[in-house]
Structure 1
């Protein structure tokens, strides 16, 4: 059943920028291990989902749609308002690259996870963060 433009608008308006399910899942795993972090720090380039300020580690939890997972295949599946969505998501992907470069230039270690990685392999993602924290 095809959704009306109003239904699509309503659904899109409900998508949150912080405290998403994948972020909460990863944070709970880290917290249970005694690993403490700051969330959504405005003063850090890109406003990472999790930040270890003293260690200069920035963690981003990227959803597949908004950050262009498998983009070359997925962009062809967009049916409605295609021009807008292609431009928007491609700009998001450019911004991710710019944020990574700026943070690395400032001495930060950047860790990015796709939502599906966090969903299916939460412990492995937390292991990677924990290892980075210990190494720094």
Structure 2
């Protein structure tokens, strides 16, 4: 099974990105540098030894997906295709599992990435700012807890 997973990961990372992925990656190049300069984003990242996501910022536990309109079921008439229905179930299961592990999953539709990049950039900016604020708050809380522990148990 590990061999199959490794082969699938190699296939995913070696293929050319889709048009929506190209737009997402360009947005990440622009916005991560601006709003989370100490963080790096990665493309085609395998998470939980199960799913390969389009992009992730591991330090912020942020996952970004560029969902194809047809294959991920944007339009109701496409949802009767068993392959699309299966993808939709997988997307919901993936979102639930990743969220349970502390990841924030953000999905962008193909039509939005290719037709309204400004709105997608605004949404991504908001997500980056929110995750950075949460990250900094966690660091501050951790530092405060460390200082409190030292004060309660001074050495010597």
Q: Scaled by the length of structure 1, what TM-score is found?
A: 0.71
Between structure 1 and structure 2, the one with the greater Rg is 2
List, as ranges, runs of 4+ consecutive aligned residues in structure 1 with deviation greater than 3 Å: none
Query: Structure 2: any 5+ residue segments left out of the alignment?
Result: 1-13, 35-39, 132-156
Q: Scaled by the length of structure 2, what TM-score is found?
A: 0.63
RCO comparison, higher one (Cα < 8 Å, 6+): 1
Cα contact 1:40–1:48 (8 A) shared by 2: yes
Point out the structure with the larger helix share: 2
Please give the secondary structure, in 2, of the residue aligned with 1:92: helix
Q: How many residues align?
A: 111
* RMSD (Å) for aligned C-alpha atoms: 2.2
Structure-2 residue corresponding to 1:8: none
Does structure 1 residue 22 correspond to structure 2 residue 20?
yes
Between 1:102-111 and 1:26-35, the stretch displaced more is: 26-35
Structure-2 residue corresponding to 1:91: 86
Please give the secondary structure, in 1, of the residue aligned with 2:86: helix
Query: Structure 1: any 5+ residue segments left out of the alignment?
Result: 1-15, 77-85
Structure-1 residue corresponding to 2:52: 47
> Aligned in 2, Cα 1:109/1:75: closer, same or farther, shift over 3 Å?
closer
